Structure 1
Amino acid sequence: MNKEFQKKLNELSKLSGYEKPKKISGSLKLDSNENFVIGKQFQSDLINTAKKRCDIREYPLGGTEKLIAKLSKYLKVPSNMVGVGNGSDQILDLFLANFCTRKTRILTSEPTFAFFEERCKLYGVKMIKVPFSDGMTLDVDQFLSKSKNADLIYIDSPNNPTGFQFSKQDIQKIIKKFNGPIIIDEAYGEFSDYSVVNLVKNNDNLIVIRTFSKAFGLAGLRLGYFVANKRFTDIFSRVIQYPYPLNSLAIEAGILALQKSNQVSSIFSLIKKERERVIKNLRSYDIFEVFDSKANYVLFDAKGLDSRIYNALAEQGISIRKLGKLGKHKGCLRVTIGTKEMNSKFLLAIRDLVR
């Protein structure tokens, strides 16, 4: 191997990459913000029907166009403003690889979506980070003051892992005052108070990225999409994106899921209700500091007890996410909101651990 290749390998070896949660066989999986409130039978029926509608011997010619037409109706935006990707991760990755350089400065929060942060490190893109307050909120004026030094803004709305979401008034203020591109990542948008998808029609600098993974419970199919101005969408979809970014089965499953969107949307209310129950329950213990959330997960600081609680839950077959230090909070844990039964099992285990 030549020296330049070796040098690049050495540089990349120093990066940690995105850390996926450990796979614990047979565990109650509350560590990755997946949507288990959607029943497995619903998904089985979806996949079985999708299999009958496609021939995987063929390339999916015209498939993404069919899915985009359905997304256009679901989102109430023109189809030429909608693009798709192999999960929202791939859309973010292609954006960074093609529109950013080592001179680009991206304004975001601290913490933010870990995958996005790791990809910025991979491409050598500089990040300007605005830290969350002790109560895990962001001040819009402080955020805007930092934007003067930025070329681009990335906001995960709601934020992962805190669950924080700017008020709609504050997010509109950011969009209005910042001239450069603004990426709003709405991976958990269906569980939140609002979406800014409709604002794309009148704001050419706005790119909203979304996914089927959370709301529709299709994390394993890797279905992402975005809404942006017509010119960006055309160039991204025609030139930058892969010729066949989605497989045939995923395309058909996505179309079928959108056809059942009214049925799925009722689940969002259940998740929000359960989220409030989990927050209220955890707050009943003085040893935790529990943060508000607009997503399908709850972040809480267990302080010095985080390792003990994480390990004790794991021994009982309950897997949550151990995040450790976030800002001034040193013992952060994040739990996904599952079904009522799943949440009750988690809360009962917590009760037995701390009483």
Structure 2
Amino acid sequence: MERLVRSCYRQGGYVFAKKAGGSAHGAGSDRIARLASNENPEAPSPAAVAAAQQAVLTANRYPDERVDVLVAALRAYYGDYTFVTGVGMDGVIETLMRTLVDPGETVAISAPTFSFYGLAAQAQGAKVVPVPRRADFSVDTDALVRVGKAAKIVVLCTPNNPTGNATSADDVQRVLDEIKGVLFLDNAYVEFSGIDYLPLLRKYENLVIGRTFSKVHSLAGLRIGYAFVPAWLQPFYMRAGTPFTMNSVSAAAAAAALSDKEHAARYITQVQVWRKRFSAALKFPVLPSDANFVMVDVAPHTGDEVVEKLAARGVLVRSCRSFTGLADHYIRVSVGEDWENELFIRELNAL
């Protein structure tokens, strides 16, 4: 019966980071430095926890299909923008592709980058065209525009996963000026960059900016994504979306998390301190980063080799081998707690 499965799913798929359980057993320790998944190491804000506990008391009812409590909180926090939500950034990406892309249409993706863009586009029968970045991993705007002119959606992650570097607002504006389709700007890590792309929303009707509560707000386990969209797109996105995808507990927690600015600010400061520390203390080259992680060139080792060696020493990091177009001598390392970061530096330098 496997012949019934679509050809694009018979191999490949999303590659997950190494998990803590097996590594803890191998390292002989229950204390594992979890630096593989770009998570915030701090527990959620007490305000978010309290709101989630209250919301779960009414979990016998279906959630609000428009997620008004979260949308209202986002508008109070950011201003008078149009928002949509999804189950994590993945849910936003998947629904946007479903809303706009017909089979055979082109989706152009600046690569190497997060693999789910391509997987979601393939699910709609799109022709996926990766547009390689330059040798320093900056965006080749000429190439992106050239391919993007024929694309229904152009995807650009900034700061980019896994390379960590951001694209300037001027370069983003140039792409918007030239393409005819929609630019999806993935801003999952934008809080760590200091760059503000929101003014572009007032000028362009073909810009969608995706964001998440998984990183700076410590809510990765609740899967909360959202996007700033042009007003014309919102009703069609709602039609294409799966009913009741955003659960009421997640929505309440996210809305409350926005009220605790100190919680977010602490981790942003932690990230800024440790990005510099990684660059100064590691014996391997660390690429400049605007995100809550760094990419490290571990040549002559391979990324997989280093991941396995560090896991045996109680440190989880991400190999970049699964990122199409990226050489197999990079690892991606999240900024964690102080002890996790110190352990990582010590063990990587000991290789």
TM-score (norm 2): 0.89
The structure whose residues are more often helix, as a share, is: 1
How far is 1:108 from its partner? 1.5
Unaligned runs of 5+ in 1: none
| Residue 20 (structure 1) aligns with | 16
| Residue 313 (structure 1) aligns with | 310
Matched, 1:57 2:60: yes
| Residue 247 (structure 1) aligns with | 247
**Once the two structures are aligned, what percentage of the paired residues are identical?**
27
Cα separation, partners in 2 of 1:46 and 1:66, compared to 1, 3 Å = closer
- The answer as to whether partners of 1:67 and 1:255 remain within 8 angstroms in 2 is yes
Q: Which has the higher contact order (CA 8 A, sep 6+)?
A: 2
How far is 1:116 from its partner? 1.3
Matched, 1:47 2:49: yes
| Residue 161 (structure 1) aligns with | 162
Cα separation, partners in 2 of 1:320 and 1:117, compared to 1, 3 Å = same
RMSD over equivalenced CA pairs, Å: 2.2
CA-to-partner distance for each residue in 1:55-89, whole Å, 9 max, x for gaps?
112222377101101101212233xx111111110
How far is 1:12 from its partner? 4.8
CA-to-partner distance for each residue in 1:296-323, whole Å, 9 max, x for gaps?
1111221231344322211111010012
Secondary structure, counterpart of 1:22 in structure 2: coil
Partners in 2 of 1:117 and 1:348 — Cα distance? 36
Partners in 2 of 1:304 and 1:263 — Cα distance? 39
| Residue 269 (structure 1) aligns with | 269
Residues paired across the two proteins, number: 339
How far is 1:270 from its partner? 2.3
1:319 maps to a residue whose letter is L
Secondary structure, counterpart of 2:146 in structure 1: helix
1:76 maps to a residue whose letter is G
| Residue 293 (structure 1) aligns with | 289
| Residue 218 (structure 2) aligns with | 217
| Residue 349 (structure 1) aligns with | 347
How far is 1:34 from its partner? 0.6
Partners in 2 of 1:20 and 1:182 — Cα distance? 26
Matched, 1:303 2:299: yes
User: Relative to structure 2, which stretch is displaced further, 302-311 or 188-197?
Assistant: 302-311
Partners in 2 of 1:327 and 1:240 — Cα distance? 32
- The answer as to whether partners of 1:47 and 1:249 remain within 8 angstroms in 2 is no
Partners in 1 of 2:171 and 2:247 — Cα distance? 38
2:159 maps to a residue whose letter is P
- The answer as to whether partners of 2:45 and 2:217 remain within 8 angstroms in 1 is no
After the TM superposition, which segments of 4 or more aligned residues of structure 1 sit over 6 Å from their partners? Answer: none
CA-to-partner distance for each residue in 1:177-236, whole Å, 9 max, x for gaps?
222111001111111231323321221101111110111010000111111111211221
Secondary structure, counterpart of 1:330 in structure 2: coil
TM-score (norm 1): 0.88
CA-to-partner distance for each residue in 1:271-306, whole Å, 9 max, x for gaps?
122112112323xx2xx3332111111112212313
- The answer as to whether partners of 2:40 and 2:217 remain within 8 angstroms in 1 is yes
